[in-house]
């Protein structure tokens, strides 16, 4: 990945994290970046950015065998 692509990827990731991974809407990452939702999704695919898996306490305790 080129230096510019890495900078773009890092910037998009920071904005996604600050918007709690909401891509569209008034407070979504696309709005904050000044781009269309579909354009952001395209850039995310090109830069191999995916939503992280969310694990909550219940699923972790079930995996550990707890109640």
Residue 67, number of CB atoms within 10 A of its CB: 4
Enter the pTM of the model: 0.75
Give the angle 54-21-59 at the CA atoms, nearest 5°.
10
Check if CATH label 3.10.530 holds for domain 3-63.
no
Q: Please report the pLDDT score of residue 63 as a whole number.
A: 60
Q: Please report the pLDDT score of residue 58 as a whole number.
A: 62
Measured distance CA(36)–CA(34) in Å, rounded: 7
- The ranges of the chain with pLDDT < 70 are 57-67
């Amino acid at each position: 990945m080129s230096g510019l692509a890495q900078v773009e990827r890092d910037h998009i990731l920071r904005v996604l994290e600050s918007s709690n991974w909401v891509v569209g809407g008034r407070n979504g990452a696309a709005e904050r970046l000044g781009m269309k939702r579909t354009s952001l999704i395209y850039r995310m695919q090109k830069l191999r950015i995916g939503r992280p898996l969310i694990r909550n306490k219940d699923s972790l305790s079930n995996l550990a065998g707890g109640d």
